[in-house]
Chain A
Amino acid sequence: MTANEPTTDAIEAAQRQLDAHVREIVKWHFSPETGCPFWLDWAKRAGWDPAEEVRTFDDLLRFPHFQDEWLRDEPNERWVPRAYAGRPYYIFETGGTTGMPKQRIGWEDHWHDYEEFSETLDERYFPRGANWLMFGPTGPRRLRLTIEHLAHHRGGVCHHVDLDPRWVKRLLAEKDFETAKRYRDHCLEQAVTILKNRKITCLFTTPKLLEGLDEKLSVPDAGITGVFCGGTQMTPQNVRFLVEEVLDNRAQFVPTYGNTLMGLACSRPLTPQDQWSITYHAPQPRAVLRVVDPNDTAKTVDYGAWGRVELTTLTKEFFMPRFLERDEAIRREPWGRFAWDGVGEVRPFGALEQKTIEGVY
């Protein structure tokens, strides 16, 4: 057993906590007094009663894979749990490069996710009271609000730059590389202007934009001591380059894996000893990540093997069982305070077979 391997007791306790949470959340969503119309109708057609029959996380295998088209095709009201009826909600979008985007509605989940995440940040690099720059996709995305909430929660304020990734994806699809480059420069210039004129210590951005900033200024010299990064895949080499060269080993780099549907998965601390390989752990029990065999998704793959990432979200605001992400990853063992599986070296599903327009920002 290595120093960072959680004890068997810790792993079992996490499993018990997850099973209890599953029972509570499934009961909530499938009870007429609290559940949402979508799931209540679904249960009527399914011919079984999840509220009574789901006892453990493994019982969720009785659900089919959640289809994200449902989030596009079903009216938003269909997802409102009765317990939240009458309360205005946020609408957060994902996708939408062409046509109607997928939408998740929410009330406070995103606050919880980021407050929980806040506790994992190192005060030396992300000091309380420090100001942030949010330099990532804005518009109808959770990130726009959550980074600001994170800054406020930690006693600072948050500056913003407008950034529309759908426009960039469209330019790239049309092979209009020149306009895409001009738009990138336009965004970078705004971020640089803020960094030069305001005291900013913490930064949220994507790997590509961090590289872009590095073309215009030295990020650590600009006063940044903590960089919270997310949005796209990061190969070990990318991470090493960002840490060793762009941040000159002077600012902390905190990669995360997350999206509108999940929340935020934290990474283990990065080290050269791990060959800069990133492993994320879901914010269990609110969300669970499994690495499954693409040909038999009921089964997880062995530790150390590649498989497709499956996400289950379990909050009172949103129940999403067994959603197959468009990503693949290596299944990794529980680690440290994360007494449950991790997902390593996440990359687009089928990355070796096909090129997708991914991670433009």
Chain B
Amino acid sequence: MTSLTARTAVTPARSLGSRLRHHGRRLAVLLGLPAVLAALWWIVSERAGNFFFPPLSEILAEFGPTWFDGRLGHDLLPSLGRLAAGYALALLLGVALGVLIGTRPALRAFAEPVLEFFRAIPPPVMVPILMLFLGIGTTMKVVVIVSGAVWPVLLNTVEGVRGIDGLLHDTARVYRLRPLTRLRTVVLRGASPGIVTGARQALSIAIVLMVISEMFAANNGLGFSIVQFQRGFALPEMWTGIILLGLVGLLLSLIFRAVERAVLAWYRGQRQAQRGGSR
């Protein structure tokens, strides 16, 4: 990352021509391999005539009619809504409980083995159990996402809170920071690298659970549609669903990275300073 910023910092001094060439090269490096792979997929699938791997041209032609005639609102949006609700709840619950447990050493020792056990349960096996209590509605799907995504947030928050320098706590006490101020500026700030790590793991678990809960039982959603297509042997449509799901995953990880960069800007600066100035 540092080398990247260093490189862009140098460019303004150069002439326009070399700058264009420089950006052109970077663009070629960025898009070169994906273009080659897409072209390969296009050509090979066109020739292969394999039922399971329909021509890419056919998949792309099918994309619009499959998704933009109502499915986007009927299937994708409900999926994303449940994901957002479940993920937000998991973050809230994980951070709140994590701070509570992390700031009390005795409570932490008391709860940790049980929490480790819950984290170790493969999240999808909670679906059959939660279906017993909640049926197959939206509530079940949101709770499934929470039940899987909350553990990495919780445990990483606990770790993050534990790792805060004791000197900071003492300083906060000396300055008589009020409890809320201390929570915001010392505890949450200090634990934020841990919280972000947990949130990243939780995001990929949440996406998996969004899909899985819809594959079990649903009448709409991304996972539901993909399985419907597969059971109906609608191969090109199924592939558009797989591609759409991939794009959703990609988009969410890009958003996550942007948020992470904003939240942890102070941390990167600090790390760099500790390693001996700007590199």
To the question of whether A and B form a pair in one complex, the answer is no
- A interface residues with partner B (beta carbon < 8 Å): none
- B interface residues with partner A (beta carbon < 8 Å): none
